[in-house]
């Protein structure tokens, strides 16, 4: 019998669908990818079990995200490698760093 693995699907603009296996997300927590021509980040917080996809473009710059290893309000804190701004995963809010004024930018760029 074939073994089944849980994965999260990102269907973008009815043009492309990608799957991100939970096993990979648990290990890495953040995947920087491109879907269609759009740079995206698939983020996973193992503590609160949330998976959120974001458009990685901000002010015409493409950001690459990583995990800080920190939690805030029991949720993953991400950072972008370009400005070292810290971002709250669940809200997409910039909480520390150069983009701090970009509150909730990810809510406008949240993908579904």
One pLDDT digit (tens) per residue for the chain, 112 residues: 456 788 998 887 777 889 999 999 999 999 999 998 889 999 999 999 999 998 899 888 999 999 999 999 999 999 999 999 999 998 888 999 988 766 544 444 445 4
Kindly state whether residue 6 falls inside one of the protein's structural domains. Answer: no
Strands, E, within 1-105: which ranges? 7-12, 16-21, 30-35, 38-45, 50-55, 57-58, 61-62, 65-72, 75-80, 86-88, 94-96
Kindly state whether residue 26 falls inside one of the protein's structural domains. Answer: yes
Cα-Cα end-to-end distance for the chain: 32
Kindly state whether residue 47 falls inside one of the protein's structural domains. Answer: yes
* Type and span of the H or E element at 107: helix 105-109
Reported pTM: 0.84
Kindly state whether residue 89 falls inside one of the protein's structural domains. Answer: yes
Spatial distance between the Cα atoms of 72 and 38, rounded to a whole number of angstroms = 28
Kindly state whether residue 106 falls inside one of the protein's structural domains. Answer: yes
How many CB atoms lie under 10 A from the CB of residue 18? 18
Range of the structural domain that residue 43 is part of: 19-111
Number of domains in the chain: 1
Kindly state whether residue 7 falls inside one of the protein's structural domains. Answer: no
């Amino acid at each position: 019998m074939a073994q089944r693995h849980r994965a999260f699907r990102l269907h973008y603009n009815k043009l492309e669908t990608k799957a991100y296996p939970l096993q990979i997300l648990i290990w890495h927590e953040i995947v920087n990818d491109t879907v269609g021509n759009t740079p995206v980040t698939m983020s996973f917080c193992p503590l609160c079990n949330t998976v959120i996809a974001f458009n990685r473009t901000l002010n015409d710059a493409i950001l690459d995200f990583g995990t800080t290893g920190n939690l805030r309000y029991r949720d993953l804190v991400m950072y972008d490698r370009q400005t070292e701004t810290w971002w709250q995963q669940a809200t997409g809010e910039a909480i520390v760093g150069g983009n701090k004024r970009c509150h909730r930018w990810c809510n406008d760029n949240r993908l579904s």
